[in-house]
Amino acid sequence: MKNLLFVPDSVKPNIFDGFEPLLVAGDAVDSHFARIVDIILDFDDQTRPDSVFIDEMKDALTYFIGELVDEL
């Protein structure tokens, strides 16, 4: 996932000197991506309804995106 991150050329002039958005984004990926993958791999649709999966994913992605936006 971190290999897919990049800063578009059109945005680069707007970045403050010394700020590394890829490092910040990478930290957010490190702290949240494992949980997201675990939710996907560990979900048992035989014993729990899809709505539980949707709620778990929504919560995990909300925290991930929220931290990413807050840090950037």
Q: How far apart are CA 43 and CA 67, in angstroms?
A: 24
pTM recorded for the entire structure: 0.76
CB 36 within 8 A of CB 64: yes
**How far is Cα 13 from Cα 62, in angstroms, rounded to an integer?**
28
Q: Show me where the domains of the chain are located.
A: 20-71
- pLDDT for the residue 1: 80
pLDDT (tens digit, 9 = 90+) per residue, 6-63? Answer: 899 998 999 999 999 999 899 989 989 999 999 999 998 888 899 999 999 999 999 9
